[in-house]
């Protein structure tokens, strides 16, 4: 992929068509220029911290866009006028929000490669400091790539992007190679973090407190690897990686690094603090009941009833309370997700007893629901233990990472996503941005219109 002909043109187009709910990621261009002209430890650290901001902004858009595709919620702003694009499609490379799930991530990779390519020349960092910075940057690269890989899935994505910006577009890597690259990045980062000494040479934002040294950040790295393990069906490896993560039944389920937002000049507010974002009513109607017949506690904590609103045939009477202020943080990875990933890996490796125990831990702790039996007694709505697990992931991780769309697709269950309209379509994958397609001849499969079903 030519960054000059493809990525930057995407950014330019995105700026022209952006709606009020979109957000242009901070590309940290000043830090990149400073580093290229004067490769110092401070400039390298500024790029590393800039990656945190970039990943934050990318995730905020990802969770919203594929949260809608997974029918966790809806963007119902009249001024935006884009609800039909999400709900009935078709989805084309020219669909404006497609670039929101591409351009920011590849801009991060450009920044990351800039610092990694020249890090050996930085005179004022020790060898352990360079190792730690490399491990951190590679982990954040993998985090961005996990997001892009999830959106394009079987289409594949470019991964060999550390090339001359004036060269031809690099090949599209197939899905298996994409995830192997992500796993390799995380493993390389692990090696560097282990050699990174006791501290980073840069200061991470407050949301990373407790995960702000090479040793503690390595636990995040292993958790991200477990995510990729699950999506590549490497369930036994996922259990190994989870054992090296920050998973703990003794810790709060909210424990984990968070991305901070602020109202400060030059920073970004959380775009998911918005009056036009509504939750899917199915989250209420599909909720299991507590002992007192009230809905799953996660519904009561994460949703609030509002006056019914209808737009383009879609109606909702609930909104999210997850991001109640413009500076509300968003989780990068949480202990609750790690426990659910462990349950998933246990189930898929045949350890039904431990999977049931982990599911019950989340059900009773987070949902205040009665425990399920072992062996599992299914229902019409949730006939298997896997369905029960997917229910727990749906409610525990709603509007955090696009989990519902990703998980349901992984198990070929997208047909079970709720629909309100007969014309509604569920999309299994999203195409590449228009500018990326225009840079390639012949155009790859990912440039085709996605019709949905």
Domains of the chain are: 3-270+328-447 (1.25.40.390), 278-320 (no CATH)
Q: Does the pLDDT at position 163 exceed 90?
A: no
How sure is the predictor about 4, in pLDDT bands with cuts at 50, 70 and 90?
Answer: very low
Query: Residue 220 has what pLDDT?
Result: 99
Query: Residue 209 has what pLDDT?
Result: 98
Query: Residue 11 has what pLDDT?
Result: 34
The pLDDT tens digits of the residues spanning 241-300 come to: 999 999 999 999 999 999 999 999 889 999 999 999 999 999 999 999 999 999 999 999
Distance CA 33, CA 49 (A): 15
Q: Does the pLDDT at position 355 exceed 50?
A: yes
Whose structure tokens read 């109606």?
315
Query: Residue 32 has what pLDDT?
Result: 80
How sure is the predictor about 29, in pLDDT bands with cuts at 50, 70 and 90?
Answer: low
Query: Residue 97 has what pLDDT?
Result: 94
How sure is the predictor about 158, in pLDDT bands with cuts at 50, 70 and 90?
Answer: very high
The pLDDT tens digits of the residues spanning 300-339 come to: 999 999 999 999 999 999 999 999 999 999 999 999 999 9
Q: Does the pLDDT at position 10 exceed 90?
A: no
Q: How many CA atoms lie within 13 Å of 107's alpha carbon, on the beta-carbon side?
A: 27
Query: Residue 235 has what pLDDT?
Result: 98
CB 222 within 8 A of CB 248: no
Q: Does the pLDDT at position 14 exceed 90?
A: no
Q: Does the pLDDT at position 13 exceed 50?
A: no
State the average pLDDT over residues 354-369: 98
Query: Residue 37 has what pLDDT?
Result: 82
How sure is the predictor about 30, in pLDDT bands with cuts at 50, 70 and 90?
Answer: low
State the average pLDDT over residues 4-30: 35
Q: Does the pLDDT at position 1 exceed 90?
A: no
CB 29 within 8 A of CB 47: no
Class of residue 61 by CB neighbours under 10 A (exposed 0-12, middle 13-18, buried 19+)? buried
Q: Model's pTM, two decimal places?
A: 0.93
Query: Residue 23 has what pLDDT?
Result: 30
Whole-number average pLDDT of the chain: 92
Closest to 150 (Cα-Cα) out of 33, 81, 69, 211 = 69
State the average pLDDT over residues 90-106: 95
Q: What percent of the chain has pLDDT over 70?
A: 93
State the average pLDDT over residues 417-423: 97
The pLDDT tens digits of the residues spanning 120-140 come to: 999 999 999 999 999 999 999
């Amino acid at each position: 992929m030519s960054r000059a002909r493809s990525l930057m043109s995407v950014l330019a187009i995105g700026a022209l068509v952006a709606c009020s709910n979109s957000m242009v990621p901070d590309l940290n261009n000043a830090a990149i220029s400073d580093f290229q002209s004067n490769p110092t430890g401070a400039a390298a650290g500024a790029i590393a911290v800039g990656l945190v901001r970039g990943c934050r902004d990318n995730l905020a858009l990802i969770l919203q866009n594929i949260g809608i595709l997974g029918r966790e919620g809806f963007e119902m702003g009249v001024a935006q006028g884009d609800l039909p694009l999400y709900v009935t499609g078709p989805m084309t490379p020219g669909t404006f929000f497609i670039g929101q799930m591409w351009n920011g991530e590849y801009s991060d990779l450009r920044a990351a490669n800039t610092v990694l390519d020249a890090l050996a020349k930085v005179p004022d960092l020790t060898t352990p400091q360079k190792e730690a910075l490399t491990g951190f940057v590679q982990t954040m690269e993998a985090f961005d790539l996990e997001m892009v890989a999830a959106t394009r899935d079987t289409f594949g994505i470019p991964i060999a992007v550390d090339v001359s910006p004036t060269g031809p577009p690099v090949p599209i890597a197939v899905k298996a190679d994409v995830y192997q690259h992500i796993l390799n990045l995380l493993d390389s980062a692990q090696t560097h973090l282990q050699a990174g000494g006791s501290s980073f040479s840069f200061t991470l934002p407050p949301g990373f407190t407790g995960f702000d040294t090479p040793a503690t950040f390595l636990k995040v790295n292993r958790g991200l690897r477990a995510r990729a393990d699950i999506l590549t069906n490497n369930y036994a490896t996922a259990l190994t990686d989870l054992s090296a993560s920050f998973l703990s039944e003794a810790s709060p389920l909210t424990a984990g690094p968070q991305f901070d937002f602020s109202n400060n000049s030059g920073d970004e507010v959380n775009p998911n603090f918005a009056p036009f974002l509504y939750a899917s009513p199915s989250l209420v109607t599909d909720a299991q009941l507590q002992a007192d017949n009230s809905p799953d506690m996660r519904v009561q904590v994460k949703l609030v009833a509002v006056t019914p609103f209808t737009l383009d045939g879609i109606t909702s009477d609930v909104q999210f309370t997850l991001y109640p202020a413009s500076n509300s943080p968003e989780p990068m990875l949480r202990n609750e997700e790690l426990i659910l990933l462990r349950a998933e890996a246990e189930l898929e490796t045949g350890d039904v007893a431990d999977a049931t125990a982990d599911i019950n831990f989340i059900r009773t702790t987070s949902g205040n629901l009665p425990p399920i039996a072992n062996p599992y007694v299914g229902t019409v709505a949730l006939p298997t233990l896997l369905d029960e697990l997917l229910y727990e992931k749906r409610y525990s991780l709603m509007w955090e990472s696009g989990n519902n769309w990703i998980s349901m697709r992984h198990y070929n269950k997208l047909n079970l996503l709720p629909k309100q309209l007969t014309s509604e379509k569920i999309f299994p994958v999203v195409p590449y941005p228009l500018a990326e397609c225009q840079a390639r001849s012949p155009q790859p499969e990912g440039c085709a219109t996605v019709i949905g079903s």
